[in-house]
Homo-oligomer: A and B are copies of this chain.
Amino acid sequence: MNRTMINELQGKAGEKVLLKGWLHRVRELGKIAFLILRDRTGMVQCIVETGKISIKGIKLESVIEIVGEIKENKSLDLGCEIAVEAIKVISAVNYDLPIEINKGELEAGLDTILNNRVLSLRHPKTNAVFKLQAVLAQSFGEYLKSNAFTQVFSSKIVGGGTEGGTEVFEIKYFDKKAYLAQSPQFYKQMLVGSGFERVFEIGHVYRAESHDTNRHLNEYVSLDLEMGFIEDERDLINLETEMLKYMLSQASLQCSEELRLHNVQLPEIKGEIPSIPLPEAIEILKREYGKTDLENDIDPEGERLIADYVYKTFGSEFVFLTHYPRSKRPMYTMPADGGLTHSFDLIFRGLEITTGGQRIHSYEQLRTSMLERGLNPDSYPGYMDVFKYGMPPHGGLAIGLERLTAQLLGIKNVREATLFPRDRYRLNP
């Protein structure tokens, strides 16, 4: 008999089926036991007459096979249950479970959850986080592919010449020193200039920052894109707006059950996302919230407050902050008038989820920008080449996949939106 998945049981009362999965819960009532079987598609109640079929010694989370008949039961969410005719243990559990995963909420501290990842991920709410995350990554790629972007895979081991500004992890590379890439920034620019014009990458990036917050990871998945022949950063802002609409529509379509489990509503993007130049945002924060400690930059509190302001004023949960000052952006950022830049961040529900902007495409201008910051252009030979040999106006952006996932689901700590997070103290599992 072929395996039937639990989400295929509805409307088939009377049929005999073979189910496989994990034993999620057991309740014994006299001569009857109610087992909950869980597979990757859901859960079903299975009724066992314990006088005929023994379930003694079968511990929770054992992998079992059940043969039985589908019975209609309208009082259950699924609309049916299984009258069990045979149970077989495929993989027995002989150990006590370190955490309980058969309650509505996973009641354990973050460290316990992460230390017992293979169990905590079995909890339907935890599992749902990563089903949504997969759809977000995939729909990012689908949207860009349909807009003539080529997916690329750039090296994460770099010989030197990092962007500056953040710490990097050092690797022993045979007899040399190398570093883990803090972003595919240089590579994606080089690939735009290599004739691809439009590229995207979905891959890990590494930051050796030692601070320990609920929104930072030392390794995360960056959804990166870069495109050539743009006018300015507005082209990127428009692209991201349409891309997010597509990603949210796919999440809504493919993850309705996952979103229901988390009891969240996806944000709506109607038309354009509001866009505020940073200097104006700083004025608004002063005027509306009496926040006077900002100068030329915004802090996490400021991001939360400006998000609050935009939601109250425009009804949008997203806001683009634009025109960051030159001093706050990397050397490759295209300058704008008044010491500002053609750059932007996207704030979603009070947290920055994207940084992007137009880049400098002139070799001489880039050299000058590096020298002004005390960087040596000769340390970046492969990168500088592309600007010598014909580079179109271009720009790009990067979205932190774990942050986007966490913000959509109302998860407070980005580690919970990471399968196997890496931070200052955590290297396992």
Contact = CB atoms under 8 A, between A and B. Distances in A.
A145 interface: yes
Given A40-B195, A61-B390, A382-B117, A150 B170 contact: no
Contacts of A362: 91
Contact of A198 (B40, B119, B158, B206): B40
A91 B361 contact: yes
| Chain copies in the assembled complex | 2
Interface in A13-72: 20, 22-23, 38-41, 61-63
Interface stretch (A76-84, A129-137, A334-342): A129-137
In this complex, the interface size class of chain A, counting residues with CB under 8 Å from chain B, is: 35 or more
In the complex, the 8 A-B pairs of residues with the closest C-beta atoms, listed nearest first: A382-B429, A159-B427, A121-B194, A118-B386, A40-B197, A134-B151, A122-B195, A61-B390
A180 B138 CA distance: 25
A176 B210 CA distance: 13
B382 A118 contact: yes
Contacts of A174: 208, 210, 424
A178 B427 contact: yes
Interface string A90-129: 1111110100000000000000000011110110000100
A363 to B, nearest CB: 8
Interface string A396-422: 000001000000000000000001111
A377 interface: no
Contacts of A381: 428-429
A148 B40 contact: yes
20 contacts: A40-B148, A93-B390, A94-B363, A94-B388, A95-B388, A95-B389, A117-B194, A127-B195, A138-B145, A153-B204, A156-B156, A157-B219, A157-B422, A157-B427, A169-B171, A174-B208, A381-B428, A381-B429, A382-B429, A383-B429
